[in-house]
């Protein structure tokens, strides 16, 4: 469980700080609410306000929040349980298609968005168990290869089963969310989507933090640190691993349903290996095992990809620079990811905002953690 920074401790009154320390879920809700208000305001401040319009910033923050949910879900599998999953985008695709098939002209159905959020969670959780069951005895590279295969099988299946999925074209005309008093969300107004995705992100953060602090979360940590020792201590590693896969997949499905409703179209091309790599990069960059750090990593990666690199293209188009002016920086985004991750592994392997336990494990001399009995 993370603690407030030294700067925050100087600002927050002691009683409030103690209360938030004991009620981490309430603290998470307050933090997300403050960030949700601050980001649009920040986008109006130069130089951010000159880069693009407020609605464009809001739309970018909405998509970044979707990726934050993906990263948090993958963090349950990789960060909490130590199970390397390279096919996580498959669950994102399943959630999106579950909603698109029954809420579009494709089959002539119009199932409402809200119940499909729950249905998408349940179906993707089932697929998570189906993936986890045959891989229970696999570890490390072998598990990564199997999950990578699953991540490739799902988009290819969606691509070829055109009678049921629309093939390469995908499914368009997906119904948008609807709320009493607001009506159907507008395509050109990003604010309802922004508020909704922040609410969904808050739910995901609270649920995952609760799980992290529960017996299940401590069992996941034990499996991550030493699976054999966890089994010797009486932990049912089979059930716990399946639960990790199910929870991670359910969060991806949750985000997938919203993504389909937001974009109003789903296509197999949206769910390639790149999505899994981006989510994994956010987990590593933000701080593996830390919910807040992972969400920050997702925002950083997506905003660099969607805004910073585009602005570099515009800048160098306006300022003729030999050779550099002909480079499309967006095409090199994954090279940038690789460079950033290599530098992180060399300079700060624990991530931007790691758990205190993980941070000290990287910085403490050998044997010190054992003498201190570990950290929280």
pLDDT in single tens digits along all 376 residues of the chain = 444 444 444 455 666 555 555 555 666 677 777 777 877 777 777 666 666 788 888 898 999 999 999 999 999 999 999 998 999 999 999 999 999 999 998 888 889 999 999 999 999 999 999 988 988 888 878 888 999 999 999 999 999 988 889 999 999 999 999 988 888 999 888 999 999 999 999 999 999 999 998 999 999 999 998 888 999 999 999 999 999 999 999 999 999 999 999 999 999 999 998 899 889 989 988 888 888 889 888 988 888 877 777 777 777 777 666 666 667 777 777 777 778 778 877 877 777 766 665 555 555 554 544 444 444 4
Residue with tokens 């349940």: 122
CATH code linked to domain 20-364: 1.10.3470
- Alpha-carbon Rg for the chain in angstroms: 21
CB count within 10 Å of CB 199 equals: 14
Any idea where the domains of the chain sit in the sequence? 20-364
Cβ-based neighbour number of residue 33 at 10 Å: 13
């Amino acid at each position: 469980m993370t603690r407030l920074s030294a700067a925050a401790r100087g600002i927050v009154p002691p009683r409030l700080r103690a209360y938030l320390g004991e009620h981490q879920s309430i603290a998470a809700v307050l933090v997300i609410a403050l960030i949700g208000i601050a980001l649009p305001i920040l986008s109006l401040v130069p130089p951010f306000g000159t880069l693009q319009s407020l609605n464009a910033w809001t739309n970018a923050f909405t998509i970044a929040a979707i990726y934050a949910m993906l990263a948090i879900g993958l963090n349950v599998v990789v960060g909490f349980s130590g199970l390397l999953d390279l096919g996580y985008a498959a669950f994102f695709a399943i959630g999106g298609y579950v909603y698109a098939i029954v809420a579009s002209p494709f089959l002539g159905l119009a199932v409402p968005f809200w119940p499909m959020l729950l249905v998408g969670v349940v179906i993707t959780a089932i697929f998570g168990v189906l993936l986890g069951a045959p891989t229970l005895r696999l570890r490390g590279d072998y598990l990564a290869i199997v999950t990578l295969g699953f991540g490739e099988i799902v988009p290819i299946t969606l691509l070829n089963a055109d009678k049921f999925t629309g093939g390469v074209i995908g499914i368009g005309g997906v119904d948008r969310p609807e709320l009493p008093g607001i009506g159907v969300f507008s395509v050109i107004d990003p604010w309802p989507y922004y508020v909704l995705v922040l609410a969904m992100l808050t739910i995901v953060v609270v649920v995952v933090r609760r799980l992290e602090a529960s017996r299940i979360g401590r069992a996941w940590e034990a499996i991550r640190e030493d699976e054999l020792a966890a089994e010797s201590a009486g932990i049912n590693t089979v059930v716990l691993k399946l639960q990790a896969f199910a929870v991670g997949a359910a969060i991806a499905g949750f985000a997938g349903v919203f993504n389909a409703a937001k974009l109003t179209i789903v296509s197999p091309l949206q769910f390639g290996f790149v999505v899994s790599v981006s989510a994994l990069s956010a987990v590593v960059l933000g701080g593996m095992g830390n919910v807040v750090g992972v969400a920050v990593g997702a925002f950083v990666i997506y905003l660099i990809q969607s805004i910073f690199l585009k602005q570099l293209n515009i800048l160098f188009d306006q300022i003729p620079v030999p050779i550099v002016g002909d480079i499309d920086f967006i095409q090199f985004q994954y090279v940038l990811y690789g460079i950033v991750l290599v530098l992180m592994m060399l300079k700060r392997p624990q991530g931007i905002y790691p758990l205190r336990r993980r941070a000290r494990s990287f910085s403490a001399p050998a044997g010190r953690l054992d003498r201190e009995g570990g950290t929280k």
